[in-house]
Amino acid sequence: MDLEATYYQMVTLCVSPTKVYKSAYYRKQTKNRWARDDPAFAVIQVLCFLLIPVSARSPATDTFFVAQAVEWQYAFDIHCNSFFIFFLVVHVLQFLFLPWLLSPSLVSLVVANTIYAVGCGSYVYITFLGYMALPFLHHTERFLYPIVAIGGLYLSSVVLQLVFGATFNVALMSATYYYIT
């Protein structure tokens, strides 16, 4: 397992996720595979997932000349790349700020729900980048549609708090689920 390359890829996902999918394109050119050969990314992610107590529980093809389909390993790579950023934002960042996020104030609701919106939005965006790198897929911008729903849920949680006083703090609900029950 090439751990150095895996850690470099994890850092690159945080800084510039587009570079990761350019390397997937180059891998396709050299090895004729979209997916990584090395399972180190998944192994490290599983180990991190086990070490942290907080956890979350029709591709179109163009077959004009060559029959191509999305490899299931590449789809799993895309998920691992996307989930890494989601994990850092939602689980690690939330865990660090959990005492402040659990208060019943409007500021804690906005910050907590912003953390979840950014985490979910980054998952959707990096998934979009992964499938956009495949030249035989068309209309990959449809992968960005869930961002509208994420933004709508975020805004509705703030409006519900301001207008009706109803608290919809996702961090409070997840902390209650993981630590109290």
Structure tokens at 29: 């050119």
* Torsion 154-157-160-161 (CA) sign: negative
Percentage of the chain modeled with pLDDT above 90:
38
pLDDT in tens, 56-103: 443 443 444 455 788 888 899 999 999 999 999 999 999 899 889 988
Residue type, 172: L
Residue identified by tokens 């996720």 is: 17
For 37-92, the DSSP string reads: S-THHHHHHHHHHHHSS----------SSS-----HHHHHHHHHHHHHHHIIIIII
Write down the pLDDT at residue 60.
Answer: 42
Write down the pLDDT at residue 56.
Answer: 42
pLDDT in tens, 1-32: 788 888 888 888 888 888 888 888 888 888 88
Structure tokens at 98: 């959990």
Residue identified by tokens 């906005």 is: 110
